[in-house]
Each structure stands twice: as C-alpha cells, then as structure tokens.
Amino acid sequence: MPENRQATRFPLHLPVAVKAKNQRQRAETEDISSGGVLLSIDSDVKVGSSIAFTIRMPADVVGSDKDVLVNCTGRVVRTSKRKDRRAVGVVIDEYDFERR
C-alpha cells in the first residue's frame, strides 16, 4: 500500500487528555505531524467521529521555559488494534496553544 502521508512524522510519546463522545480518557501519542497524530488509547473510537484532545508539550521540546498545552480538535480517520490498546489516527482540524 503506498504511503499517503504528506508531512514528516515525529515519534514523540507524550501524555494526552482525550474527550470523545462526552467521555474523558488518557492516551499517549505514538507520533505527531503538522496535520495529525497517532494516539495509543484504551478504548475504540469510531472512524469519522470528532475528538478533542490536549497534548502537553515539554518545555525542552518546544524551546520554552514552561510546558505548553496544545488544545486540538479533529476527526478520527483510522483505527487498529495494537496489543491490548487501540491505535487511533486523527487529522487535526484546529489547534491553539496554552502556555502555563
């Protein structure tokens, strides 16, 4: 299957707070690009559903003296089973930065 990704992916494993279907849960990034993110999460999220999530970017990663929260909204474009968790691919539609 040909590679359709247009942006470089960065293998960052960061904690994520997810809100999907009015449920809050914890996840972790597997990789991040300018257009999307691959999340490792405990429960399945349906393809096509909207999702809101916040990624805490460590200060040393973003070149800041404090961690930066990135609040995102997006759409689930794919899911797959990975061991005892789910891999959820999300296209980021909107984001904003929140400095702490």
Q: Please write the tens of the pLDDT for every residue from 19-71.
A: 877 788 899 999 998 889 999 999 888 999 999 999 998 888 888 899 899 99
The model carries a pTM of 0.84
CATH code, domain with 25:
2.40.10.220
Burial class (CB in 10 A: 0-12, 13-18, 19+), 39: buried
Residue 39 lies in a domain: yes
Q: How far apart are CA 67 and CA 89, in angstroms?
A: 24
**Count of C-beta atoms within a 10 Å radius of residue 98:** 11
**For residue 67, is it within any domain?**
yes
Domain residues for the domain of 50 are 15-99
